[in-house]
Amino acid sequence: MRTDAEHTIYLKDYAPSPYRIVSVDLDFRILAENTTVTTQLTIEPRDDTAPGTPLVLDGDELSLTSIAIDGAPLVLSAYLAEPNSLTVFEPPLRRFVLETEVVLQPENNTPLMGLYRSSGTWCTQCEPEGFRRITYYMDRPDILATFNVRMTAPRDLAPVLLANGNLVDRGDAGDGMHFAVWQDPFPKPSYLFALVAGDLGAITDTFTTASGRKVDLAIYCTHGKEDQCYWAMDSLKRSMAWDEKRFGLEYDLDIFNIVAVSDFNFGAMENKGLNIFNDKLVFAHPDTATDGDYEGIERVIAHEYFHNWTGNRITCRDWFQLCLKEGLTVYRDQEFTSDERSRAVKRIGDVVGLRGAQFAEDGGPLAHPARPDEYREINNFYTATVYEKGAEIVRMLATLLGEAGFRKGMDLYFERHDGEATTIEAFLNVFGEANGTNLDQFKTWYLQAGTPRLTVEDNYDAANQTYTLKLKQETLPTPGQPTKAALVVPIKFGLIGPNGSPMEWSGVSGAEVRDEMIVLNTDAAEVTFTGVANRPVPSLLREFSAPVNMTTNLTQDDQLFLARHDNDPFNRWQALQDVGMALALSATKGTPWSDNAVAALSEAMADTLASDTLDDAFKALSLTIPAEYQIAQNLGSDVDPVRVHEVRSELLKAIFAPLAIQLLQAYRGLASDQPYAPDAKSNGHRALRNRLLGLLVASDAPGAANLAAEQYETARNMTDRLAALGASAYAWTEKAPVLLADFKIRFGGDPLVLDKWLAVTAAVPEDGVIERIRTILADPTFPKTNPNRLRSLMGVFAMSNPTQFTRADGAGFRFVAEFVAEIDKINPQVAARVLTGFRIWPMLEPKRREAAKSVLTTLQSGGSLSRNTADILTRMLA
Ligand code: ARG
Ligand code: ZN
């Protein structure tokens, strides 16, 4: 038994391997009962490798059935084969071929890493360390090799045989078997290996690249679902065109395949030429998928496609560099969505998501830098910090360098590092070099955990016509990082004059200010503008130009002024949210809001709704107040989630009940009878209509519950139907149980729609929810091996039902902990992910805090947890 310390991997210990793998020949013999994998690795020592240096390959639950070097079987004393490693003591000090054979049981592979079976289909997931569950290998991303894959399988069970690269041969193999040979000309790390064998349907298309090459595209899926793949195909073609146009990047193989599978640990995987997807991120039909699903599919299809350059052509040297490919690729998919849809709406949605997931992570026991310097279980670092904060860091780089400067850096990155496995340092260097600038201090963003607090205080001096902004940044300690350095914070801003239009200044001093951006790179600065004729209202951190928590001395009047006049749509939205937040916070802390303050916000909301310049999607985002988790995060400590829930509901009523007539009129004015179209405009139309319905229900407007039931029954698409169901269930209206039952009957046969029912059920903030979930879990037909089902039910309960999860009697905590212990034996990644719902425990009020702590401690002392779950637990209790 190894200790935790032995398992900790440190960035500082990185060293290249003494041997290189030049090429890989894999032979899969797939049978219903098992799969035999014969591997030939062409291996070379490095120039400086000393004679007698053992060759150590990784394995995970493997058992070796044969081993040979250059065709000669090895004697027992020449190697040591264990489930998690294979050592050859004295390999030749020249190029040689190591041949091994292992037998796998894909059917029993419930962790869904390596080769497994999903609804009969054989498929793989290798990132980050799944390839070692397929064969002994140096399973690390800096080993780049070309792959040649031969697969043989029963023709009836697996008429479709796919792997990376190009199909070079196929044919009959006798005895009802057939074979295919795939070759990938691009050297790649093992985590990008993929294979699929199954009885699948497909839709096909082609894409002609800018240089005129024709690429064959296909999306494979369960028979009968082909008609649900067209949106994904459309998204793929738009992604391919966008990457050419925006970054000059063309696809590099003649084939691009996507396969949708039902059992998948996360969203999707960018395997070279053969992306494998969770089917919920492929299937779209208006009757069963919502606008959110359509947008998610478009985004993830783009994301995985963009990885072909940022991830595959240039990959990571080691897993500490994960955000090199993920942060950059998320940035790229965000830009794609912004260009395809509305930039402002996309930005607001992303920031809401960032605050909900990443700020929460960054402010709790699981906080870690975007580039961590140690880990025990790398699977636990596929986090909002690596992905979303990683994208924010790239976005700040683009903000600081400008679009042209950023593009120069990207071009140099591909020119210099194509075909390499590299680091964050190399990435920053090309931007520095291409722009003649030093990014040493900027790099701190990658190294330092925690969300910086930015405080701004303004002061106008009428006599001297000067205007001053006092800026301060501070980052609180996070686990392992007691002290923090000042970051480079780009603060986009504008000054708005009394008539609502932008104000000029004649001079500025105190910090670097260029165009409409202050670059704060010290703990504090005082920026003084001269020649300012009137007191302006400052619009700060436009477009959310840095991932910080900002507080200012602006009054409610200032904020409402911004909500009306700011020409940055992000800050217009933010200003309304800030006003709501201030009211919610003070009420939670015991100072009730004044009627005037609420009336002013109400009026601003009414104006927003009535505006004929703002678009529907923007209105939908604006007509609300911050979510409960958001309010809790701002309170920071001693949080009572029930109190937060009550205050928020009351505030929502106080703001929106007086507007009931306007809301209803606007709702009625938005038609619901058009045929479904997934474009941004129709999407915005539905979003606003459904927001209005939600507000009517949440503010108990007369007749609202019936209106929701009516919308549920007459809905012509899933977006409208689910919105009505969700609003009814969340408010637990009289009709809610009937609607839920109806939904289950109508759609229970479609697993992806069943997930929606599970999620709505699990989010109901009412006593009784735990019992209802227990009943669902206890049903013997409930598939405890399917990540989507488990996450929809228990992920949602632990992450999105704060009042019931954190019940003062501890019942919610115990329920989740029991679930984690049980599922950990089946799928550690799902268990560990659900467990992270506990990360809020340190900020709860004492009674709940103690309850959570004791449940976590009991779970830990129970022992026998997977490394995934044990790692989360240890950090959470540290
Ligand atoms: N590289 C994939 C993506 O972001 C995700 C892989 C996630 N792996 C994991 N172990 N969580 O597109
Ligand atoms: Zn990714």
Which value, to the nearest 10 degrees, does the dihedral of the CA atoms of residues 382, 387, 393, 397 take?
Answer: 120
For residue range 703-745, what is the model confidence (pLDDT) as tens digits? 999 999 999 999 999 999 999 999 999 999 999 999 999 999 9
467: enclosing H helix or E strand: strand 466-474
Best residue for ligand 1 mutational test, from 60, 261, 266, 316 (most atoms within 8 Å of Cβ): 266
Ligand 1 pocket member 304 (CB < 6 A): yes
Dihedral angle computed from the Cα positions of residues 219, 223, 224 and 227, in that order, rounded to the nearest 10 degrees: 10
3-state secondary structure 369-429: CCCCCEECCHHHHCCHHHHHHHHHHHHHHHHHHHHHHHHHHHHHHHHHHCCCEECHHHHHH
* Amino acid letter, residue 338: S
Instruction: Return the bridge partners of 27, or none.
Output: 38, 150
Of ligand 1's listed atoms, the one at least distance from the Cα of 269 is 2
Does the beta carbon of 569 sit less than 6 angstroms from any atom of ligand 1?
Answer: no
Residue 417 pLDDT exceeds 60: yes
Question: In this structure, what is the dihedral angle of CA atoms 69, 70, 71, 77, given to the nearest 10 degrees?
Answer: -20
> Ligand 1 pocket check: which of 124, 125, 269, 379 to mutate, most ligand atoms within 8 Å of Cβ?
269
pLDDT number for residue 2 = 44
**Does the Cβ of 333 fall within 6 Å of ligand 1?**
no
At residue 311, φ and ψ (nearest 5 deg) are: 145, -50
- In this predicted structure, what is the pLDDT of residue 5? 54
Distance separating the N- and C-terminal Cα atoms of the chain: 22
Residue 616 pLDDT grade (very low, low, confident, very high; cuts 50, 70, 90): very high
Arithmetic mean of pLDDT, 246-260: 98
Q: Is the CB of 340 under 6 A from ligand 1?
A: no
Name beta bridge partners: 509: 528
* Ligand 1 atom nearest 387 alpha carbon: 4
pLDDT score for 4: 52
- Ligand 2 centroid, distance to 128 Cα (angstroms): 12
Cβ–ligand 1 distance for 326 under 6 Å, the answer yes
SS3 call for 63: coil
Is the distance from the beta carbon of residue 690 to the nearest atom of ligand 1 less than 6 Å? Answer: no
Q: Which residue owns the Cα nearest ligand 1 atom 12?
A: 269
* Minimum CA distance residue for ligand 1 atom 2: 269
d(CA 103, CA 114): 13
Check if 622 has its Cβ closer than 6 Å to any atom of ligand 1: no
Ligand 1 center to residue 269 CA distance, Å? 6
Tell me which residue of 620, 611, 623, 614 sits closest to 689, measured CA to CA: 620
- Per-residue pLDDT tens digits for 666-701: 999 998 888 999 999 999 999 999 999 999 999 999
Residue 140 CB burial class (10 angstroms; 0-12, 13-18, ≥19):
buried
Question: Which one from 270, 295, 304, 335 is the annotated catalytic residue?
Answer: 304
Rounded distance from Cα 268 to ligand 1 centre (Å): 7
Joined tokens for residue 1: 């038994």
In this predicted model, what pLDDT tens digit does every residue of 39-68 receive, in sequence order?
999 999 999 999 999 999 999 999 999 999
Nearest bound ligand to the CA of residue 271: 1
Structure confidence by residue, pLDDT tens digits, 513-558: 998 999 999 999 999 999 999 999 999 999 999 999 999 999 999 9
Helices 595-610 & 641-656 angle (0-180, nearest 10): 60
CA of 194 to the centre of ligand 2 (A): 16
Task: Using the atom order of ligand 1, give the atom closest to the CA of residue 127.
Answer: 8
With contact defined as beta carbons under 8 Å apart, do 548 and 489 qualify? Answer: yes
From the CA of 492, how far away is ligand 1's center (Å)? 32
User: Which of 465, 466, 485 has the alpha carbon at shortest distance from 475?
Assistant: 485
pLDDT on residue 688: 98
Pocket test for ligand 1, best of 382, 387, 834, 871 (most atoms within 8 A of CB): 382
- Ligand 1 within 6 A of CB of 630: no
Q: What are phi and psi of 315, to 5 degrees?
A: -115, -170
Is residue 845 flagged as an active site residue?
A: no
DSSP readout, 475-530?
---BTTB-S-PPP-EEEEEEEE-TTSSB---SEEESSEEETTEEEE-SSEEEEEEE
**ipTM over 0.90 threshold:** yes
Residue of minimum CA distance from atom 1 in ligand 1: 269
Helix, strand, coil percent content, the chain, rounded in steps of 5: 45, 25, 30
Q: Which amino acid is at 526?
A: E
Q: How remote is the CA of residue 795 from the centroid of ligand 2, in Å?
A: 21
Contact 314, 413 (CB under 8 A): yes
Residue type, 427: F
Structure tokens at 433: 């070099």
Query: Is the Cβ atom of 270 under 6 angstroms away from ligand 1?
Result: yes
% residues pLDDT > 70 (the chain): 99
Q: pLDDT exceeding 90 applies to what percent of the chain?
A: 98
Place of tokens 């709505």: 760
Taking alpha carbons only, the member of 132, 125, 182 closest to residue 152 is 182
Q: In whole angstroms, how large is the CA radius of gyration of the chain? A: 28
**Nearest ligand atom owner, CA of 112:** 1
What backbone torsions phi and psi does residue 620 show, to the nearest 5 degrees? Answer: -60, -40
> Given the structure tokens 């000029």, which residue do they identify?
504
d(CA 216, CA 101): 34
Contact 548, 454 (CB under 8 A): yes
For ligand 1, is residue 379 a contact (CB within 6 Å)?
yes
User: Whats the size of the chain, residue-wise?
Assistant: 878
From atom 3 of ligand 1, which residue's Cα is the shortest distance away?
269
Question: What is the 438 CA–ligand 1 centroid distance (Å)?
Answer: 32
Q: Does ligand 1 come within 6 angstroms of the Cβ of 330?
A: no
**What are the tokens at 768?**
């009784």
Is residue 1 over pLDDT 60? Answer: no
Indicate the SS3 state at residue 855.
helix
Residue 268, ligand 1, Cβ within 6 A: yes
Is there an atom of ligand 1 within 6 Å of 377 CB?
no
For residue 129 and ligand 1, the question of a CB distance below 6 A is answered with no
450 Cα to the center of ligand 1, angstroms = 23
CA-nearest residue, atom 8 of ligand 1: 127
Residue 83's φ and ψ, nearest 5 degrees, are -55, -35
Confidence of residue 6 (pLDDT cuts 50, 70, 90): low
Residues 6+ apart with CB under 8 A from 214: 206, 207, 208, 254
Q: Is 328 in the pocket of ligand 1 (CB under 6 A)?
A: no
User: What pLDDT shows up at residue 600?
Assistant: 98
Residue 27, CA distances (Å) to 35, 102, 161, 163, 362 in order: 10, 11, 13, 12, 44
pLDDT at 749 over 70: yes
Mutate to test the pocket of ligand 1, among 125, 127, 315, 871 (most ligand atoms within 8 A of CB): 127
Cα 12 to averaged position of ligand 2 atoms, centre (Å): 25
- Res 269 pLDDT > 50: yes
Distance of CA 493 to the CA centre of its chain: 28
- State the closest ligand 1 atom to the C-alpha of 307, by its place in the atom list counted from 1: 12
Q: What is the residue-averaged pLDDT of the chain?
A: 97
Is the four-CA dihedral 817, 819, 820, 825 of positive or negative sign?
positive
Q: Is the pLDDT of residue 594 over 60?
A: yes
DSSP state, 824?
A: H
Helix (H, G, I), strand (E, B) or coil at 259: strand
Of 559, 588, 600, the C-alpha closest to 576 is 559
Ligand 1 atom 10: residue of nearest CA:
379
- The position carrying tokens 């990571």 is 316
> DSSP label at 852?
H
Q: Which is the closest atom of ligand 1 to the Cα of 378? A: 10
State how far the alpha carbon of 515 is from the alpha carbons of 399, 402, 404, 612, in Å: 11, 11, 15, 30
CA of 328 to the centre of ligand 2 (A): 9
Angle at 566 between CA 564 and CA 569, to 5 degrees: 95
Q: Give residue-wise pLDDT tens across range 332-380.
A: 999 999 999 999 999 999 999 999 999 999 999 999 999 999 999 999 9
**Could you tell me the pTM of the whole model?**
0.98
The DSSP element (H or E) to which 4 belongs, if any, is: helix 4-7
Q: What separation in Å is there between the alpha carbon of 510 and the centre of ligand 1?
A: 44
Residue environment code for 150-166, b if the CB has 16+ CB neighbours within 10 A, otherwise e:
bbbbbeebbebbbbbbe
Token digits of residue 93 = 């000090």
Instruction: Indicate whether residue 128 lines ligand 1 (CB < 6 A).
Output: yes
pLDDT in tens, 379-398: 999 999 999 999 999 999 99
Residue 514 is which amino acid?
R
Max CA-CA distance within the chain? Answer: 95
Q: How far apart are CA 201 and CA 221, in angstroms?
A: 5
- Measured on CA atoms in the order 614, 615, 618, 624, is the torsion positive or negative? positive
